[in-house]
Structure 1
Amino acid sequence: MQMTMTITRRLLWICLALLVSGVRAEELRSELHESVSTIDVTVKDFYGTEQTGKVVITQFLPDGDGPFPILILNHGRSPSDRGTPPRFRYTRQVAFFVKRGFAVFEPTRIGYGQFGTQFDPEYSGKCRQKDYAPMIDAARTEELAVLEYARRQPHVDPHRIVIVGQSVGGFVTTAMAAENPDGVVGAINFAGGSGGDPVEHPGVPCQGERLEAMYSQFGKTARVPMLWIYTENDQYFSPAYSSAWHDAFVRAGGNADYRLLPPFEKNGHMLFAHGTDVWEPLVSEFLERQGFPAR
């Protein structure tokens, strides 16, 4: 009875803290020890406009006292309504990493979610004039701030960090690997890229050669072991592009294991979201090679 009251009181305090910080109080997954906080980060957009915005960080923890290795999970770019969801959670995918002993930090970047979408530091211009550098600069600034925040938390091991990202989040993850942040020992890119449109130009991203050049640039400095997972029927980035990006990354000096999986559903780009049973064995194998055995 006393334990139940303690847990209830703790959840009430968490909800109160969310309301005070301006984050909407939602039902929190108690079995994943879910909590939410925000940090302020200043970034520039495509036009050079500088603005300070809030990055919402949703945190999940395993049972026990730790210290737990850190996993940063990066979301993609919402195709239509960047205000939905109010914060990214990916709880089914998070549960896999929490079970493996990771403390998971999932940032909702500036320009997404409940804190507004008017300022969009990840806009990269029209299709024929794409410039992806400002997007990466802004996202990398936010990501480094999230890493700094995560390292300061109790019960974590700041020397054992893995970064994971989906779509634009995978692009950002690869850019972070190029920075070789202290403590980062592995990174996973799920269908990473930008500029795709499955309706207007399926499989063919805007200015794919510019993305290839950026992946080559990342490869010159990246020393973090990576796993890249793509599918044959990705309607955003066809294998012709993802394989070329991987080749450019590796030729420049990057270390990445490229896995092209068979078609998944109608659009393989959704593998991370809908196909956990497909990718979990590959990710488990990669994590074990980096010193993270199954618990």
Structure 2
Amino acid sequence: MRRSVLRLAMLLMTAAWIPSSYAVRPSSAAASSFAADIHESVTDIAVSVNERSGRAVTAKVVITQFKPDGDGPFPFVLLNHGRAPNRAQPPRFQLTQQARYFVQRGFAVFVPTRIGYGALGTEPDPENAGPCKAKNYASIAQAASDEILAVIAYAARLPYVDAQRLLLVGQSVGGYSTVATVARNPAGLIAAINFAGGSGGDPKTRPGEPCEADKLDQMFANFGLTSKVPMLWLYTENDQHFSAQHGRAWHAAFINAGGQAELKVLPPFGRDGHRLFSAGLDIWQPLVSHFLDEHGFPAQKK
């Protein structure tokens, strides 16, 4: 077990030195109504990643952007989405209400629609980890974190962004990908938040039980070996993708390997606590605000 964990850590640390290629282009992705009050805009970048088979692909990552009034420079946050059964919807991820909270806290916000999602097409799909009995969770971690690192590099070059004050946030597979990115220690990263992070869940066929959960134990231990910043992890007792039991086990694996993370397992939320990030803003915002206040992102003075 320990030998496998160390081998995975070396693979991720080696990959961290290989920059993803990217080129900024105006986005042609269809836009619904834009949130003018928080200066919503959209662009895309081309990113090169590897699929599970090892085949290299280059495709576009659409980025929805929001910012406060003024010229900045502002701290910045990436909001990383999960994986729905219909990956073509939404056409691009906006997470407008969540973004508005962070803009009001003084952040410039970037919401990537990763490769394999949205209006630009569901293929290639570098986050396909394979069949339930043969999951390759390391390939998801590598591909998604490559994309996230490319978006960080893009955002850090913008004149209104403070490249030394980065926060990462993700939900579900986006939470798992956020932890994977934390383990690669991008420049400027101060803290990160994981909402119900994991992979391989199916509430219809295996409520609360992800495929090969022991492999995820190993992956989170791997991430803990090289992670250096404080994290907040939020799970719920009635998550239909990843039960609270697994959230606790993954957290234990992470911190026992050296990671820093405060775990909060919240009471049941609605019919499926996995929806807390999208539908329970009034519940998680006070917890996140406290975490941000404690870790270098105090609330903006009115």
TM-score strictly above 0.5? yes
Partner of 2:204: 199
Partner of 2:139: 134
- Give 1 or 2: higher helix fraction: 1
SS for the counterpart of 1:65 is: coil
Shift in Å at residue 103 of structure 1? 0.1
Shift in Å at residue 44 of structure 1? 1.3
Gaps of 5+ in 2: 1-24
Shift in Å at residue 20 of structure 1? 6.2
1:204-228: per-residue Cα shift (whole Å, max 9, x none)? Answer: 1001000010000000010110000
Q: 2:43 aligns with which of 18, 37, 40?
A: 37
Work out the CA distance in 2 between the residues paired with 1:251 and 1:185.
21
Partner of 1:54: 60
1:250 aligns with 2:246: no
Q: How does 1:1-295 map to 2 (within 5 A)?
A: 21-78=27-84, 80-295=85-300
Superposed CA RMSD: 1.1
Work out the CA distance in 2 between the residues paired with 1:133 and 1:20.
32
1:213-267: per-residue Cα shift (whole Å, max 9, x none)? Answer: 0000000010110000000000111111110000000000000000000000000
TM-score, structure 2 as length reference: 0.90
SS for the counterpart of 2:288 is: helix
Q: How many pairs align?
A: 276
Shift in Å at residue 49 of structure 1? 2.1
Gaps of 5+ in 1: 1-18
Work out the CA distance in 2 between the residues paired with 1:38 and 1:63.
23
| Identity percentage of aligned residues | 55
Work out the CA distance in 1 between the residues paired with 2:204 and 2:29.
34
1:93-137: per-residue Cα shift (whole Å, max 9, x none)? Answer: 111000000000110000000111121000001111111111111
TM-score, structure 1 as length reference: 0.92
Work out the CA distance in 2 between the residues paired with 1:234 and 1:21.
35
SS for the counterpart of 2:269 is: coil
Larger Rg: 1
